Amino acid sequence: MRPTVEREDDARSIDLIAVIALLIVVFGSICYLTSPSSDQITTALIVPSQSVRW
């Protein structure tokens, strides 16, 4: 009969996965924020009219 071994998650492996995930998020946000935008976003000022007929 083989002894049963309960497997517990190692805290170091969870920390390593968390650090890798944070690095991916930071790198992705830096690439997103520093990339040149292909379309320039123009905002239009909408002036409501005084005589609106529905």
**pLDDT tens over the chain, length 54 residues:** 566 666 666 778 889 999 999 999 999 999 988 877 666 666 666 666 666 666
- Please report the pLDDT score of residue 11 as a whole number: 78
User: DSSP readout, the chain?
Assistant: -PPP------HHHHHHHHHHHHHHHHHHHHHHHHSPPSS-----PPPPPSS---
- Please report the pLDDT score of residue 1 as a whole number: 57
- pTM as predicted: 0.52
Contacts of 35 (CB under 8 A, 6+ apart): none
**Domain ranges, residue 31:** 1-54
* Structural domain count of the chain: 1
| Distance between CA atoms of residues 17 and 20, nearest Å | 5
